[in-house]
Structure formats: structure tokens, C-alpha cells
A and B are shown apart, each in its own frame.
Chain A
Amino acid sequence: MNKEIISTRQYISMIVMFIVGTTFVVGGQHKIKQDAWIAILVALIMSLPLIFIYGRLLRLFPNKNLFDIFEKVFGKVVGKITILIYTFYFFHLGSLVIRNITEFVQVVSFPETPQFFVALFLGILSIYMVKSGTEVLGRWTEFFLPFILFVLMVTILLSGTKFNFSNLQPILYNGWKPVISNAFSIFFFPLGEIVIFTFLFDSLKSKNSAFKIYLLSLVISSAIILIVYIRNILVLGIPNLSQIYFPAYYSVSLINIGEFIQRIEIIISIVFMLSGFAKISVCLLTTSIGVSKLFKLPDYKQICAPISFLMINLSIIIYSSTMEMFEWLEIYEYYALPFQIVLPLIALITARIRIWSGNLKVES
């Protein structure tokens, strides 16, 4: 299997597209009041120590991804167990994203089309993407990201006539506590999911510091999320915001320029679908890599099809209604905690101890 190389720009585009992914579909904005923008900034600051941990781990073991690092640090047996845990996490995450997108399409555009049909398309396409390899995924996201940003910015500009700045006030009316708790949920979803990219770090061409790369991507994605959330608040207003399922979608549907450009929200749902698709592909990719490491298969590309089948299956049975999908968000923070924070932290501490006690050989 040839080593696949992606450039830093492609890596950053992958991360940004991933994080922006389903944020606007299921991002927990119906809980947040008018201080969402403060919550995002706080979440960004909170994620700094997190990526610091990732950066440290990746710097200790150059040219390795987190799968290999776990195996090295924890030994064969425990390492394999952690790989298994993470593979399930990414598998579950992929199914969740497929379900989010198909639910979104059904609620918003095609109420009579069964969800498994859209899931079928998503599954086929993501198999094609993963079979073509990491490089193609990098180039694809590098190509589509400017397009997505352009569409988002244009819709924000076009909805300028509907802005109502008093919706942002009063600032901090409810005090800091709700802001902090919202910041936590934004921290876990979507920012903390950057952990998935530590498993792809060995494809990166240059030896830049992981911390800087992750920082840059987090800053870019937080800026995008920030702008869109503020737009949602400005256009929709607080009481509406907490009652609408897909606020970003509905604020675009309100755009009406001279009776000619109206109801263009299908464009934004295409943007959601594209970024959601990128997210599914990354999840499928890392799951396949994990499975191939567990079963010692030579190439992850051959096993991605059955994994995708199972992902689609799980996406069909996992929820029975849209409300359940949104209820999941409330516990997602606690569910993601071990994967995003606890396990990498333990790995770092164990690695440090083992190096200090001379137990572990590390190439510098």
C-alpha cells in the first residue's frame, strides 16, 4: 500500500469541512440564547489545552498516527482495545452523521422519500471516496471548501436586510452560567471532534507542528460557525430560534430580494449535504483504517464497503424520530468525554512516564 501524502492545506480544508459538517444541522443552537457568540469564543479557548495534548502526543511520535501511538504506548493488548473503542466511536459517529443528513433531507425537502434511499446514495459515494484514498479526499475538500464558504457568505450577505440587531441584546442577561454550559456543549460538538484527525496525521507531508495546524483549523471553523450563528440570531430572533429545528436553513429561506431571489434555501441544504458527506467520508476512512489495524489487513480500501453497509444499517435503526435525534445532543458531551479528552490524556501521561523510566524507545 503506497503511502498517501496530503499537503497541509488539504489537511486543514478537511478539518474545516469536517467541523462545519453537521454543525448547522444539529448544532445545539436551540438551547442557546442570544449569547451564542460568546459561547463559541469561550469554547475555542477551552479547546486550546485539548489540541495542546494532541500536538504533544503527535510530536513525541513523529510520522505516526494515533492508532500506532496507542499500540506503542499501551502495549499490544490494551492498545488493541483502545483501537477497538475508537473504531466504534468513529463508526457510531459516521452513522449519526448519515442519519442527520437523511433526516434533514426528509424533513426539509422530500417528506415522502424514505430515508434509506438517501442513505444509499451517501453510502455509495463515501465508499467511492474512501476507495480512491486519502489523497483524493484531501483534494476534493480543498476544491469544495472555497465553494462552500462562498455560498455561506453570499447567503449571509443576502439576508442582510433582515438583520435585527436588537436580537443580540441584552448581552449576558442570564449571567455566565448558561454561557459556560453552552460553551461546553460546543466544545464537545463540534470542536472536540478534531480528535479524529490525529488518526490521519501520518499522511501529512510536512513536519509542521500539529498544534499550529489544529489551531489554525479550529480558528477558521470557529469563525465560520460564529458568523453563521450570529446571522441566525440576527435574522430569527430568540424565541423563534429555540423552537426551530434547523435555524440556519430557515434563516436562508427568509431571504427575499426583489421578489426574484427567494426561497433559495435548497442551495444551503446542498452545502450541508456536501460538508456532511465529507464528514461521513472521514469517519468511514478512519473506521476502515482502524479495522484494518485490528485485523491486520494490508489495505484499508478493501474493507470499507462492508463497514459502510453496517454504518447505513445503524443509521436506519438508531433513532425512530427527529426528536430523538435532537435529544441525543444533550448527552453527547458525556458520551464523547472519554474519547476526546480522557484517553489521549492518559496516553500522554503514560508515554511520558514510560519514556522517563526508560521503558519506551522514541525516535526524535
Chain B
Amino acid sequence: MSKFKEYSLSKSLDSNIEMIKKIFNNNDDTLIIRSFQNQHNNSLKCCIFFIEGMVNNEIINENIILPIVETSIPSIKSNFIEYLQYQVIVSNNLQKTDSIDQLIEAVISGNTILFAENSLEAIIIDTKGWQSRAIEEPIVERVLRGPREGFTECIMVNLALIRRKLRTSDLKFEFTTLGERTNTKACICYIEGLANEKILKELHKRLESISIDGVLDVNYINELVSDSPLSPFETTGSTERPDIIAAKLLEGRIALVLDGTPVVMTVPYLFIEYFQSNEDYYLNYYFASIGRVLRIFGFIASISIPAVYLSLVAFHQEMIPTPLIMSIYAARQGVPFPTAIELIVLLITFEILREAGTRMPSYIGQALSIVGALVLGSSAVEARLVSAPIVIVVGLSGITGLMIPKIKSVSVTMRFIFLFLSSLLGLYGYIFGMSALLIHLFSIRSFGVPYMSNLTSLHLQELKDTTIRSPWWYMKDRPGSLSKNLRRTSRGQRQ
């Protein structure tokens, strides 16, 4: 769709210069216009346009202006542009075009466009060079042991990082543009032969049907492309580390890299992936299995502890051993609020503290959380506003909830819902809530693959990477629901 229908290239260099100036609004200081002519032949005039701050000045000076000005060019009337393209300009990436849309898009992306006198075509030269962040470890995905590279905001750098980990020609990249106004470059990566073609086709279809103003982060795409947009659970994965992407690609998943954000999206995404971490594979498998079990248990504990505590203390006191119930009731002496209210208020306070701690600059943040927890908590207990066991319950629930950052949003929502149900019907209410949660989990799909695929089968090969992490010599096959090509390692590796 041409936005510049009313403009057209002409043979006259001056009218081309006027046209570009008009498109770019005369007061734009970032657009640099440089006209020059050849030393030996005065009639060979050229003009280049580029945007300051987005180009590598050395390339422009040495590889464009210098050769054109200095080389002795025989006087050619026609195909001057082609002569420049093939024999004068020193650049590893250039093309010729006569489309104004392409020219404008090229300038905006950091390229240089070159017009010549008496020529209806122009050249686009790749001179991209801007300030970008160095490759460093992502803050939220640190590991104790393992590679420390992280993605940056530049799509070409990210793709190169992926390519370096998977040096096979089966790794395919497919480029596309998303976002009407941002025209963000996106790239779909997959390993041919491992990825499921149906999922790939489905992804293409959904991306094509997106029509949105701007795409600034993968989460924009995630919400538009998701199978179950109403579910609090995420059906696409996201990560900032190339080693995680490489591992997921090797399992048959598909990755979507977006320009301008270090976060890369993977599809499909199953529930068990919340609890898997790349560190599991870099550490000893016993330790990794313990870590995984701890994470799953932590998630369940985080959403259940307040609800179970409330139902036991308020409805089913007979289940708690007598000495314990006596100390709980002794601690509750004089507290004016019913247990449910105490729990809700303290949980909300915990969330406020946590959110405030994240937004503060780090030195205040530490102090604030210590002050908040210690002072508020213990003064509240001493003033008999809340009872001490409640503070323990809320603290436990909050800390286990922070174990897995990705599932935090689900944890917080579910905690309150279970607490509410528990306050209505005790442990029965909690079980209703759990059943409803499970019904929901079992019914959602991620790009056609059921969300809880690996968890209910009894095939040993399917379970080897879920709750525990089996050693590499045992993991012979890939997960069957993702890829048809099952064999991952060959037999008999252990010897």
C-alpha cells in the first residue's frame, strides 16, 4: 500500500531533493542531506540522505562519499546508477529501487539513500549503526552456573546469538513485519524436521490476522494470538536467554523474535514449563529434581496455605492436634477481627509491600521491605490487631509465591479466590476451587496442544522431564505431543 502515491521520482536531482524534504517536514534536523559531485566529471552529481544517530558515519564517509568523489568515472549517460552500484560504492549490502515507499522505509531504518542526476532509480545502502546495549545477563533470569548471554534489543544480534548455538542448516528463519505504525520486524525460527508443521501453519495464520497499531513487546502479540485469551495462564513462553531458546527449539518448539525487545516468545507452551528452569540441566540431576519438586510444591503451597489455614481454624478445628490448636487460640485472644478478615488484610498488605519494593530504587527498596515486614508485622501483632500465626501464614504464602516469577500473576489471583471460597464452605470450598482450577487447566490448549500434556500420562518417557529431571542418558525421546521426530539421543549412551 503506497503512502506516497502523489510523489514520484524524477530525473532531476533537485526535484527529488525537494520531494524528500517535503516528506520529512522541512525542520527535521535529524535528516541530513549531502550533495556532492565527482572530481573528474562535473556532470555526475549525487545526493545522499540519512538520519543522524542511526547511521555509521565511517561507512558513509569512506565507502560512499569517498569512492564516488574520487574515482575517475567515464562519462556514461545511461546506467549511471548501475555503474555506481556495481563498481564504485564499497558496501556489502545495497540494492537499487524506484519505489518511494522502500526508500523512505530504508532511511527510517538507518540506511542511506542515494540519488543521482538524470536517473529514475535510487540506491539504498546499508549503513546501520546505532548505540545499543551490550550483551549481558538478563536481570530476572540469572543462573548459578551456565552461559551468561542475554538477548538485546536488536533483532539481527539476537538471531546471530541463536544461530551460533544451533549451527545447522535445518534452523530456518522466516521474516515478517508486524504493527501498522511501528512496522516492527519479527522473525519466526524453527528447526525443520523437528517442529510440528501444523503448529507452524497455525502461527502464520494467526500472525497474519493481527491488525494492530504498534507492537512494542512480545506480550502484544501474545495476547492477540493466544488460544484462551480469558485464562490467567499463559499459553506462550517468553525468555531473554539464547540457551533457553536453543533448548526449546531442539525440543520442537517455535520461537518468535521481535525487533526492539530482548524478550523472545516460544510456542507451544505447556503448564509444566513454568516449573522447568534451564539451570536444571546445568546442575546435577538429583539437585535439579529436588529443585523442581520444590517449585511445584511451592506453587501449590502459595495458593493454598491461606485457604487451608482458614478452613482448618475456622471450620474444621478437630483436625488440628490439640496442643497446636490451643496455642493458635491463645495467640488469637483479644483480636477483634475474624480470621478471614485478618488474612485478607494482611495478604493485601503483603502485595502492596512487594509492589512498592519493586518500583523503588534498589537501596530504598531493601530498607522498605525490611521496615515494612518487621515493623508493621510485629507492631500489628503487639497491638493485637492481627494474631502471630496469621503473619507466619501470609509470609510463607508470599515467599513461596515469589519462587517462580512467571507464575506470580496466577498465584496472587488464585490465592484470593481460594481464600474467598474457603471462607464460605471451609475445606469443601477449597476443594471446589481446586477442582475448578483443574477443570480450567485441563480444558485450555496452547496452539492445539493440550496444556497439561505431560502430566497425566504414565509413559515413562513422557514423565522423565516433568517432576524430576532425569539424567541425559535416560532422556531418549522428545515429548511426543510437540514433534514427530522422537529420537533425541541414541541408545546405550550410558556405557
Chain A residues engaging chain B, CB cutoff 8 angstroms: 9, 105, 109-110, 113, 117-118, 121, 125, 128-129, 132-133, 135-136, 139-140, 142-144, 259-264, 266, 269-270, 273-274, 277
Contacts and interface: CB of A to CB of B under 8 A. Distances in A.
A143 B428 contact: no
Chain B contact residues: helix, strand, loop or mixed: helix
A125 B436 contact: yes
A140 B442 CA distance: 7
A-B complex: 5 closest residue pairs judged by Cβ atoms: A132-B443, A263-B318, A139-B442, A136-B443, A136-B442
Contacts of B428: 105, 109, 118, 121, 269-270, 273
A273 B425 CA distance: 13
15 contacts: A118-B428, A121-B428, A121-B432, A125-B432, A125-B439, A128-B439, A135-B443, A136-B442, A140-B435, A142-B456, A144-B438, A259-B322, A260-B321, A262-B318, A266-B319
Contact of A273 (B315, B431, B456): B431
A132 B427 contact: no
Given A133-B443, A262-B321, A263-B319, A143 B431 contact: no
Interface in B298-330: 315-316, 318-319, 321-322
A99 to B, nearest CB: 16
Nearest to B321: A260
A266 B429 contact: no
Contact of B427 (A113, A121, A129, A266): A266
Interface in B448-465: 450, 452, 455-456, 458
B268 interface: no
Contacts of A135: 442-443
B377 interface: no
Nearest to A142: B456
A300 to B, nearest CB: 16
A141 to B, nearest CB: 10
B321 A143 contact: no
A118 B456 contact: no
A121 B420 CA distance: 13
Given A264-B319, A266-B427, 11 more contacts: A109-B316, A117-B425, A118-B425, A121-B425, A136-B443, A140-B438, A140-B442, A143-B438, A259-B321, A263-B319, A273-B431
A270 B428 CA distance: 7
B321 A132 contact: no
Contact of A143 (B315, B316, B442): B442
B291 interface: no
B439 A129 contact: yes
A269 B319 CA distance: 13
Interface string B458-478: 100000000000000000000
A100 to B, nearest CB: 14
Contacts of A260: 321
B426 interface: yes
Most A CB atoms within 10 A — which of B318, B455, B458?
Answer: B318
A262 B316 CA distance: 12
Contact of B435 (A125, A133, A269): A125
Given A140-B442, A263-B319, A128 B456 contact: no
Contacts of B438: 140, 143-144
Given A262-B321, A266-B319, A277 B426 contact: no
Contact of A139 (B316, B424, B427, B456): B456
Given A118-B425, A121-B429, A136 B435 contact: no
Nearest to B320: A263
A270 B427 contact: yes
Contacts of A139: 442, 450, 452, 456
Contacts of A109: 315-316, 426, 428
A160 B333 CA distance: 39
A313 to B, nearest CB: 20
Contact of B431 (A140, A261, A263, A274): A274
Nearest to A129: B439
B327 to A, nearest CB: 15
Most B CB atoms within 10 A — which of A139, A259, A277?
Answer: A139
Contacts of B456: 139, 142-143
B321 A110 contact: no
Interface in B477-494: none
Nearest to B312: A266
B434 to A, nearest CB: 9
Nearest to B430: A270
A19 B440 CA distance: 24
A105 B439 CA distance: 23
Contacts of B322: 259
Interface in B118-163: none
A121 B315 CA distance: 17
Contacts of A113: 425
A90 B316 CA distance: 34
A1 B352 CA distance: 46
A322 to B, nearest CB: 18
B339 to A, nearest CB: 17
Contact of B439 (A132, A261, A262, A263): A132
A270 to B, nearest CB: 5
